[in-house]
Amino acid sequence: MKVEIIYGELANLLGEHGTQELLSRTFGEIRLIRTAFPALPVFLDSSVDFVYMGPMTERTQRLILDLWRGHESRFKKAIERGTVFFFAGNALDLVGRSIRYEGKDTIEGLGLYPFDTFCRRYDRHNEVVCASFKEMPVMGFRSQFTTHTGDAAAHPFLLTASGSGMNPETAVEGIHDRNFFATDLLGPFLILNPAFTRWLFNLVGYKDQLPFEDEMAAAAKTRLSDFVATFAKKNKAAGFIQAYLQKEKQILNPSAN
């Protein structure tokens, strides 16, 4: 099994060092490919089972797009052959059509998905988001200067029950296309949501418990319970969280097989 962390020395903002540590502890350092900038990602030319990329500065986004431009077809082929990807935070912006900066220039994205990113610097949006994937509630944090326009809901990943989606007009958050998953949400997301993470890692054949899974699961349950207690009378998320907690084992056991 091969797990690639792309530019982990640059794409690691907002707690995503924790995701890199999770991957190392889960799969073992011997299975990790730590691709450093400015090398091209290994998955473009070779078989890789799981590819991870975290959030970065806007300057780093530009450098990466300059480096990757012209390799879009190879990226698309990796998605089509079923490689599992997880992109966190503004790594998602790279695969859209463009990134436009208010009052400044627009840079071309990879154009793999039909959305555009609009960046309004110094107008950061922060919120807690509760959403669902299949029957699983997930939680994450949004902290970004951006919103997404175009057909942002073309490949829905999460459906938000509390908090905003990729823009104010949609409840859809992120991209799910075949085994490509990307979300603006942070946390780190994979650590905050161990049930989803176990499901995701199952796609590459990982069947064991996650490192510290019991502790992560207990923390996730506490967050969900606190959310229900706080928003039970105000928010539609409370109902599906309570239903999930009541049948959690029934939902999760099939995904672990």
Place of tokens 């436009």: 100
For residue 246, pLDDT over 70 is answered with: no
17-21, 88-92, 133-137, 189-193: least confident range: 133-137
Q: Any bridge partners for residue 156, and if so which?
A: 175
pLDDT interval class at 61 (50, 70, 90): very high
The predicted pLDDT at position 242 comes to 61
Q: Is 26 within 8 Å of 54 (Cβ atoms)?
A: no
How many other CB atoms sit within 10 Å of the CB of residue 185?
29
Helices (H) and strands (E) in the chain, counts: 8, 13
pLDDT interval class at 124 (50, 70, 90): confident
CATH number 3.40.50.300 is the correct assignment for the domain at 3-255: no
Rounded to an integer, the average pLDDT of 54-69 is: 96
Indicate the pTM of the whole model.
Answer: 0.91
Place of tokens 């990790």: 32
Which is it for strands 106-108 and 98-101: parallel, antiparallel or unpaired?
antiparallel
Distances (CA, A) of 230 to 55, 223, 233: 30, 10, 8
The predicted pLDDT at position 252 comes to 55
Domain ranges of the chain: 3-255
Q: Determine phi and psi for 149, rounding to 5 degrees.
A: -115, -175
CA 30 to chain centre: 24
Q: What percent of the chain has pLDDT over 70?
A: 89
Q: Determine phi and psi for 33, rounding to 5 degrees.
A: -110, 110
